[in-house]
Amino acid sequence: MNFTTLRKGGLDPNEVRLHLEAAAREMGHLENRVRELQDQVNEAQRRADNPTFDEATLTAALGAQSTSILRLAHEEAARVTAESQERSAQVFTETQQRSASHLIEAQERATALITEAETTGTTIDHDARAAAERLIDSAKVNGEALVERAREQGRAIVEQSNEARRNVLNDLAIKRKALHLQIEQLRAARDTLGSFIATVRLQVDDVLAGINGSDEVARGAALEALRMQPAVPEPTEEELLAGTPLREVRDAALETGEDATVTKSRSRKPPKSTAPVEESLLEDDPSGTDVVNEIFARLRKATLEERGVTIPPPKKAAAHKPETPVGVLFRRRDAALEESLAVLTRRVKRALQDDQNIMLERLRGVQAMITTELEDEHDQRSRYAEAAYEALEHAAQAGVQFAREEGGAAGANVDKQSLEDCAADLAVTIVLALRKRILSDSSGDGPERVNAAYREWRGARVERLCTDAARRAFHLGVVTASTGRSIRFFAAPNDAPCDLCSHDSETGERIAGEKFPSGSPYPPLHAGCACTVVPV
C-alpha cells in the first residue's frame, strides 16, 4: 500500500487511518470465516467421532462414490482451515507490523510538530511581550503628555474662571454701588417726601384747627350780635322750640343705661337764654358727626358719578363661625404649648447665631470648601441639642399637665432618653441641612456661603422645625401621663389632613403607647402636622 507523502517525509494520517480501518475490516471478515469453518470442522469432527452408522452401513447406504466424496470433503475442509489460519496469522502479523511502523512515524511526526509549535509559540510570545512593552512605553509617554496637556488646560480654565469671577465681582460691585446710590436717592426722596408730608400735615392741622375754632368764632359773633340787639322779652320754651328746627334724638337711656325718668326730667329743663340753647345743641347733639359724614358721603358719591365709576356695594360683615368642641380643644392645646414653643424657638435661633459666628471664624478667607474645614458634626449637633433640651422638657411637662386637665390622667415623669432623641433629631435636621447648603453652594467664599445658608434658616424654616419638635415633646408628655389609659387621635380642624392622619383619627381609641395604623404612637406624623392626642 502506497500513501501520500507530506512535508519532511511524513505520511498522510487520513490515508493511514483508512488503510488500517480497511485491514481491520478484512481481518474481521477472515476471522468470521475462520470461525465458521472451524465450527463446520468441529461439527464434522463431532460427527466423525460419533458416527451414527458404521462405514459398512454408510457404504452400503451411500455407495462407494459418496464415501469417497465425503472423505475428500473432510480433507478439503482441513486444508482450507489450515490455509485460512495461516493466512489470518500472516495478515495479522503484517497488520501489526504496519500499525507499529505507522504509530512510530506518527509519534515522531507529532513530536516534531510539538517541538516546532513550542518553538513558534516561544517566538510569538517573545515578539508579543516586546510589542506589549513598546505599547506600554508609548502609552505612558502619551498619557503623561495628555495629563500635562489636561493640567495646562485646567490651569487655563481656572484662570479664565478667576478672570470671569473677577469680572462678575467687579460688575456686582458696580451694580452694588449703583444700587447704594439709588437707595441713597430713594432715602433722600423719602426724607423729602416725609418733610413734605409733615408740612402738609401741619397745614392740615392748621386748617382743622381753624375749622374747629370756627364754631367758637361763630358762636362769639352770634353772642356779640345778640348783645348789640335791643332787649326783647325772653321767649318761652314753646316759642323757642317752634322756631328751631330740631332732629329726632335717640333716647340716651338706651345707650348709657341711665334711668329714663331722670333723663326725661333733665331734657325738659327750660333754657335760661338763647345762647345756652345753641351751645347745648352744638355740643350735646350726637348726630352732628353723622350729618358731617353724610355730607362727605354725598360729595364722594357725586364725584364718583361724575367720573363714571360704579359705586361698590358696602361689604357685609363676615358671619362669626361658631367654634366647635374640637376647635376649643386645639385652642387649649396651642395655648398650653405657646410659652414652651416661644422659648424653644428663641434658644434655637440663639444657637443658630452662635453656630454662624463659629462657622465664620473657621471659614474666614476659605475659597474651595471641603468637609474637613467645617466644624465637627457631633460638636455642632450637641450645641443645638443642648439649647433645645430644656425647652422640650418644659413642653413635655406642659403635655402632662394638659393630659391631667383634659382627661384626668394621673401623670408621670417623661423619659429623658425620649426627650434627648427629640432634641437630637431637631439638631440633626438643622445641622445636615446647613452643611449640605454650605457645601453645595459654589458662589462666593466661605463667609459668603455661611451667611447665605444661615440667612435662609433664621426665619420661618427654623420656626416650623421648632414647632414640630415642640409638638412632638408635648404629645410625648400626653402619652406618658396617660399610661394605662386610652387615648384618641384628633386631626387638626383647620388643616387638610393627610391620609395617615385621617386613618389614625378614624381608628378610635387606643391604649397609650400603642402605635396607630400610621406606625407612630402620637403625632406629628409629617412636617407641619398639627394633629393631637387626648386621653379619654
Q: If you write DSSP's letter for every residue of 219-281 in order, what string do you get?
A: HHHHHHHHHHSPP-PPP-HHHHHHHS--PPPPPTHHHH---HHHHHHHHTPPPSSHHHHHHHH
Q: Please tell me the pTM assigned to this model.
A: 0.43
Of 110, 145, 180, the residue that ends a domain is 145
In this structure, of 46-55, 166-175, 253-262, the range with the lowest mean pLDDT score is 253-262
Q: What is the pLDDT of residues 147-169, one digit of tens each?
A: 988 888 888 899 888 888 888 88
Q: Give a yes or no: residue 304 inside a domain.
A: no
b/e 117-135 (16+ beta carbons within 10 angstroms → b): eeeeeeeeeeeeeeeeeee
Yes or no: say if 16 and 102 are a contact pair by the CB < 8 Å rule.
yes
Residue 298: pLDDT band with limits 50, 70, 90: low
Report which DSSP code applies to 521. S
Of 97, 113, 145, the one marking the end of a domain is 145
In-domain check, residue 243: no
Does residue 28 or residue 435 have the better pLDDT? 28
233, part of any domain? no
Tens of pLDDT along 484-509? 888 889 888 877 768 888 888 888 88
pLDDT digits (tens, 9 = 90+) for 456-465: 777 788 888 9
Comparing 532 with 362, the larger pLDDT belongs to 532
Number of structural domains, the chain?
2
| DSSP states along 43-90 | HHHHHHHS-SS-HHHHHHHH-HHHHHHHHHHHHHHHHHHHHHHHHHHH
Instruction: State how far the Cα of 476 lies from the Cα of 462, in Å rounded to an integer.
Output: 21
Q: Is residue 394 exposed (0-12), middle (13-18) or buried (19+ Cβ within 10 Å)?
A: buried
Residue 424 lies in a domain: yes
How many angstroms separate the Cα of 330 from the Cα of each of 242, 334, 491?
64, 6, 10
Of 145, 169, 202, the last residue of a domain is 145
Classify residue 396: in a domain, yes or no.
Answer: yes
| 522 in a structural domain | yes
Residue span of the structural domain in which 345 resides? 325-535
pLDDT over threshold 70, residue 10: yes
* Domain contains 295: no
pLDDT of residue 116 exceeding 60 = yes
**Residue 235 within a domain:** no
**What is the full DSSP assignment across 495-506?**
S---HHHHHHHH
DSSP 507: S
Output the DSSP codes for 129-179: HHHHHHHHHHHHHHHHHHHHHHHHHHHHHHHHHHHHHHHHHHHHHHHHHHH
Amino acid at 453: A
Looking at per-residue confidence, does 426 or 66 come out higher? 426
Name which of 66-70, 186-190, 219-223 the model is least confident about. Answer: 219-223
Q: What digits encode the pLDDT tens for the residues 61-89?
A: 666 677 778 778 878 888 888 888 888 88
What is the grid cell recorded at 159? Answer: 484662570
Cell numbers of 234, please?
325772653
